[in-house]
Amino acid sequence: MNLNVRRMTMVFAGCVMLSAGAQMGDAPALRIQILNGKTGRPVAHQHLALLRKDGKPLDGADKSSVTTDGEGYAPIPNVDAAVGDVVVFVDLHRPCSKTGKREFSLVGVRSKGVVSENACKPRITMFPVAGTLIYFVRDETFLEKMRH
């Protein structure tokens, strides 16, 4: 009986160590998905600027810009834990929110995922996915484009 208890303890300890090692090494890659708030379709092949609250590039480079793929996804650069928020700018698009919110918590994105407000067409909704920021935008109007 003593031998069976030792075996079970060893198996349990091994499982705990394997799961702890997997959790430490498998940090999810962060990404952003840009969706048209009026149609729900991905905004494909669009240039994004990802900045810190202070306006500096997110990854510390000269420019922190990425381009979305065919499904509207773009990677968020690996940043240290000290960077708490990301500010998102999408070329020739405006946020689909009543407040114009562009700032999102990276902690929230890592843990449970974040979905921005969609005031353009509230019937179009998405559910948060850990590691993903879903951002609803709309095309700029003619006058908004002329102000550039």
More confident residue, 6 or 57: 57
pLDDT > 90? residue 133: yes
- Mind listing the pLDDT tens digit for each residue in 54-107? 888 877 665 668 999 999 999 998 777 667 889 999 999 999 999 988 999 999
Q: Looking at domain 29-146, which CATH architecture does it have? A: Sandwich (2.60)
Alpha carbon distance 84, 61 (integer Å): 17
First to last CA, the chain: 79
Q: Look at the pTM and tell me if it is higher than 0.85.
A: no
